[in-house]
Amino acid sequence: MPGVCVIGLQWGDEAKGKVVDLLTQQHQVVVRYQGGANAGHTVVADGQTYKLSLIPSGILHPGVTCVIATGVVIDPAVLLAEIEQLQQRGVEVAGRLLVSDRAHVIFPWHIEEDRIFGQRALDEGEAIGTTLRGIGPCYRDKVGRYFAIRVGDLLRSDAEERIRRVAEEKNRALRARAGDQFQELDGRRIAQQYRQYAEQLAPYVADTTEFLLSALEQQQHVLFEGAQGALLDVDHGTFPYVTSSNSSGLGVSSGSGVPGRYIQRVIGVVKAYTTRVGGGPFPTEQDNAIGEHLRRRGNEYGTVTRRPRRCGWFDAVAARYTARISGVDHLAVTLLDVLSGLPELKVCTAYRIGQRQVSSFPSHAQDLEQAEPVYETLPGWQEDISQVRQIEDLPQAARDYLDCLSRLVGRPVKLVSVGPDRCQTMFVPAASGDQLLVGGDV
Ligand code: GDP
Ligand code: IMO
Ligand code: MG
């Protein structure tokens, strides 16, 4: 059962793109199965930086098939631009990319709806602060069904008529809601535009569920690339400050069409600290010189929106929760180099909420908002570790820090990243009887 998943265990941007790129060499197929162009996955290969938003991070490896599966919401303009940019840089996409005919399509009205509602404060106060990519509105239409249009619909003869009809409905609703704030959508123009998109995308469109099931039945190795992080999962994250898909390990099957029995291993990716973009509770946030150190050294600015990311200490209560719901086997700890130079490091081991001390993750955002972190403090290290290539060559304090994360999250660390480049990676040697993350067995 050769399916491996890479899941972010925090609020996104854990360097999933780098980990997927590294693991791609042992896989024949790489799959995105939820989210959309709200994701920004960075791969640094041979000194070149690639930022991927819809296309799986495996695309840089020739010979690997990349799949955008059913659970992804697709903005055709973004996808076509991404294909074009990759081809211009010499990455062959034609014949290597499959796009699900069941995936839902993002239209200009979804982006308008995101603009009108997504930045507005919720009743409780803060705005979600979405990426404005139309993600939430498209998923809402999918669940609501009446206004939903899938990739397969775009290829049918009645597509233009259907798009015009939905545009009329959306104009009516948005005008009533936003008045002057809203510029009428030209349904006819959009329909023509999407017909062109459909023609350009047609060669990539396939029944990806059938493709993936056949690949797995033939023992091909399939790598599932999560987008966002498990704390942004719409059902299990810090609701309502979440994205609109199941971004924890729980979303792999529904998004890809592949049952759990094919998933052999789940790798949870965590930064050595925590970041968050957008609104919502963040108990270990450091809105001070420490946060500034992390943002500067980690270059913590959003890949998609360039917003400064909020930065703070590692939250082991949150990561333990997301590792458990995601069925994580191993941890990949990234951006460890960013912690160099801090005199001491803190890791959150529990929360104090009112009079209570809890070590489980609260289900309500307001409880999390009030949570005071209880910290374990560890010594820091001063050395630059970005050139270290063996775990045993790391400063003792860095090794102790990794041991602490592993103990508190309850999973072994198998991969450590100390810089963006492929080569800035260490694999933890397997203990006897233990399986290596990277090796012939994945
Ligand atoms: P993703 O969305 O999970 O794929 O992560 P992003 O690409 O949005 O953000 C991760 C950022 O950290 C990117 O700019 C990477 O190039 C960079 N990066 C990845 N691993 C490391 C690392 O170990 N150290 C440092 N300093 N940067 C890293
Ligand atoms: P990757 O895959 C970090 C956040 C947004 C916002 C919330 C909802 O690169 O890790 P949305 O546009 O999805 O409705 O926004 O989710 N968000 C991310 N934060 N990394 C991401 O993706 C994100 N995708 C969405 O900032 O708070
Ligand atoms: Mg990102």
The whole-angstrom separation of Cα 98 and Cα 75 is 15
What is the pLDDT averaged over residues 179-183? 83
- 35 Cα: distance to centroid of ligand 2 (angstroms): 9
pLDDT in tens, 210-248: 999 999 999 999 999 999 999 999 999 999 999 999 999
Predicted confidence (pLDDT) at residue 2 exceeds the cutoff of 90: no
Q: Report, as an integer, the average pLDDT of 30-41.
A: 98
Can you tell me whether residue 175 is helix, strand or coil?
A: helix
* pLDDT above 90 (res 201): yes
Strand-strand pairing, 65-68 and 29-32 = parallel
Cα(328)–Cα(316) distance, integer angstroms: 14
Q: Is the CB of 16 under 6 A from ligand 1?
A: yes
State which ligand 1 atom lies nearest to the alpha carbon of 43.
16
Q: Whose CA is nearest to atom 17 of ligand 1?
A: 420
Query: Which amino acid is present at 234?
Result: V
Which atom of ligand 1 has the smallest separation from the CA of 20?
4
State how far the Cα of 426 lies from the Cα of 36, in Å rounded to an integer.
Answer: 30
DSSP code at position 154: H
Give the pLDDT confidence of 70-120 residue by residue, as tens digits: 999 999 999 999 999 999 999 999 999 999 999 999 999 999 999 988 767
Residue of 243, 248, 334 to mutate, ligand 2, most atoms within 8 A of C-beta: 243
- Report which secondary-structure segment, H or E, holds 92: none
- The alpha carbon of 243 and the centre of ligand 2 are apart by a number of angstroms equal to 6
pTM for this entry: 0.96
- In order, the DSSP letters of 284-350 are TB--SHHHHHHHHHTT-B-TTT-PBPEEE-EEHHHHHHHHHHTT--EEEEE-GGGGTT-SEEEEEEE
Confidence at residue 442, expressed as pLDDT on a 0 to 100 scale: 30
pLDDT of residue 394: 97
Q: Give the pLDDT band (50/70/90) at residue 1.
A: low
The tokens of 162 are what? 């259907």
Closest atom of ligand 2 to 12 CA is 10
| Ligand 1 atom with least separation from CA of 269 | 3
Q: What is the DSSP letter of 47?
A: T
Counting Cα atoms < 13 Å in the Cβ hemisphere of 421 gives 9
**Phi, psi for 314 (deg, rounded to 5):** -65, 135
> Which pLDDT belongs to residue 369?
96
Among 244, 243, 248, which Cα is nearest to 230's? 248
Tell me how far apart the alpha carbons of residues 37 and 73 are, in angstroms, rounded to a whole number.
8
Q: What is the DSSP string of 357-388?
A: EE-SPPSSHHHHHHPEEEEEEEE---S--TT-
pLDDT band at 435 (very low <50, low <70, confident <90, very high): very low
Residue 121: pLDDT over 80:
no
Checking DSSP bridges between strand 372-379 and strand 344-353, what pairing results, if any?
A: antiparallel
pLDDT tens per residue across span 151-171: 999 999 999 999 999 999 999
Ligand 2 pocket member 71 (CB < 6 A): no
Q: What share of the chain in percent tops pLDDT 90? A: 90
pLDDT at 431: 62
What's the whole-number mean pLDDT along residues 263-285? 97
240 lines ligand 2 (CB under 6 A): no
Report pLDDT digits (tens) over 393-412.
999 999 999 999 999 999 99
Query: What spacing in Å lies between the alpha carbon of 79 and ligand 1's midpoint?
Result: 22
List the beta bridge partners of residue 372.
Answer: 352
Measured in angstroms, how far is the CA atom of residue 311 from the centroid of ligand 3? 14
d(CA 148, CA 154): 11
> Is the CB of 136 inside a 6 Å radius of any atom of ligand 1?
no
Q: Whose CA is nearest to atom 25 of ligand 1?
A: 419
Q: Which atom of ligand 1 is nearest to the CA of 418?
A: 23
Report the chain's terminal Cα–Cα distance, integer Å: 10
3-state secondary structure of 356: strand
The mean predicted confidence, pLDDT, of the chain is 94
Catalytic positions, please?
13, 41
pLDDT in tens, 301-345: 987 778 899 999 999 999 999 999 999 999 999 999 999 999 999
Residue 325: CB atoms within 10 Å? 18
How far, in Å, from the CA of 175 to the mean position of ligand 1?
41
The answer to whether residues 271 and 322 touch, using CB atoms and an 8 Å cutoff, is no
Is the shortest distance between the CB of 39 and ligand 2 below 6 Å? yes
- The pLDDT assigned to 206 comes to 98
Best mutation site among 232, 335, 402 for ligand 1, i.e. most ligand atoms within 8 A of its Cβ?
Answer: 335
Distance of CA 303 to the CA centre of its chain: 11
Å from CA of 301 to ligand 3 middle = 10
Percent of the chain with pLDDT over 70: 96
* Closest residue by CA, ligand 1 atom 14: 42
Burial degree of 101 (CB within 10 A; 0-12, 13-18, 19+): middle
Q: Mean pLDDT check: name the lowest of 273-282, 362-371, 427-436.
A: 427-436
Per-residue confidence (pLDDT) for residue 182, from 0 to 100: 84
Instruction: Tell me the angle at which helices 316-325 and 396-409 cross, rounded to the nearest 10 degrees.
Output: 50
Angle between helices 159-178 and 187-201 (to 10 degrees): 130
